[in-house]
Copies of this chain bind each other. A is one copy, B any other.
Amino acid sequence: MASLTSHAFFYHLKCSSARENDPTNHKQGNNSSIKVNGIPTMSTTKVESNSTATKYASTAPVAETSYVTVAGEQSRQNIPTKKQLVDTHRQGVITQGGVGYTQTIVVRSYEVGADKTATLETILNLLQETALNHVWMSGLLGNGFGATHGMMKNNLIWVVTRMQVEVDSYPIWGEVLEIDTWVGESGKNGMRRDWLIRSHLTGEVTWVMMNQQTRRLSKMPEEVRAEISPWFIDKQAIQEDNPEKIIKLDDKAKYANSNLKPKRNDLDMNHHVNNVKYVRWMLETIPDLFLEYHQLSSITLEYRRECGSSDIVQSLCEPDEDAVKEDGNDINLLRGFSLTSRSLRATCSWVHLKNGL
C-alpha cells in the first residue's frame, strides 16, 4: 500500500451494514425503510429519539467556543480549541459515554441526483464532515486535516488504505438524518472510524499514519496513541472476517475512461484530488444503461497512491461474470473498478431495480 496524503484520512472507510438482522432490506426500492442496527454493543448507546442532536442542542447549555487562527493559515479556518459537548450550529453532540459523536443533517436540494436521492458522493462527503466535526469537538485537532497536536509535532498525517460502505437505502431529498460516528483501534498502528446513518447505511474506517515529508508510512508514536486512545470504542459497525481481495484491472478491462485530468475544482485543501472525486470518476466509467437499472448497495475501496493536479488518470471497469442471485433479486456484482496510474481499486455490489430509477 503506497502513500496517500492527509486529505485521504477521512475516507479510509470500512463500512458495513446492519443488514444481517434484516436480509429483506436489500430488496429494491426500499428507500424509506427503517432499520435497527444489530450490533449488540450499539443497543446500549443508541438513542431512541429521531432527533437527538437537535434535542440536545435545544436544551443543553451552549458550550463556549473559542476559535484560533492556525499559524500560517491566516483567517482561513475556524478551529475550536476546547473540548465541547454540544455544537448547536452543526447540531452535533458528544455521545456514547463521552467519546462518540452524533450529528443531525438534512439532505439538501443540491446533494441529490436526478432520482432525488442522495448521491454516493454526498454520502461520502457527509461521512467526512461528521468525522471532522467529531475531531473538532474532541479538542484534539491540531490542524485542519484531522491531525492531532501530537501528530503535528511528529510531522505525521493520516492516510487512507481502505474504505467500505454498505447502503441499505438511499436517503431522500429533505430527509433529516442522524449520523453516529466513533473511532477504534485497528492493529498496532491504525485507527478505525465507524459510521451509522440511521436508518440507511453503516460505515467503518481504519487508517494509518504517513510522514508528511518522506511520504512513507509511519508507526503510531506512543505520544499520539496516548492522545487518541481514550476515544477508542471497541465496537465495529460490522465484522469483516475475511476481507475480500480486490483485483487490479489492466487495459483489457471492458470499460475505460482515459486521459482524466484533475480540474482545479477537484483539488481539496491539500491541493490533491479529493477521494470523493475518485469515486465520481469510477462511477462515470459504468455504462449509463447499467446505472439506469441498478443501485449501488455496497462498495469497498482501497486507496493506493495520491493523485496531484498534474497526474493523468485512467478509470477502468470490468463487470463480474459471476453475477449472483440473492433473495430473489438480481444482485449483480460489478467488480474491479480500478483507477490505474494514480490509484484506487474498488468492488461494488448492486441491487437491480425492475423499473429503473
Contact = CB atoms under 8 A, between A and B. Distances in A.
Interface stretch (A41-49, A219-227, A262-270, A327-335): A262-270
Given A113-B265, A265-B119, A284-B265, A79 B174 contact: yes
A82 interface: no
B291 A264 contact: yes
A116 B77 contact: yes
A132 to B, nearest CB: 5
Interface in A238-279: 263-265, 267-271, 274, 276
A111 to B, nearest CB: 9
How big is the A interface, by class? 35 or more
Q: Tell me the number of copies of this protein.
A: 2
Interface in A46-76: 51, 54, 57-58, 62, 73-76
A270 B171 CA distance: 18
Interface string A154-188: 00000000000000000011111000000000000
B173 A77 contact: yes
Contact of A78 (B57, B90, B172): B172
A108 B179 CA distance: 15
Going nearest first, the 9 A-B pairs with the smallest beta carbon separation are: A78-B174, A76-B116, A110-B125, A32-B75, A114-B267, A77-B173, A89-B176, A108-B129, A58-B58
Given A77-B174, A114-B264, 18 more contacts: A29-B74, A31-B75, A57-B57, A57-B58, A73-B116, A77-B116, A78-B173, A78-B175, A89-B104, A108-B125, A110-B129, A110-B268, A112-B269, A113-B265, A113-B268, A114-B269, A114-B271, A173-B269
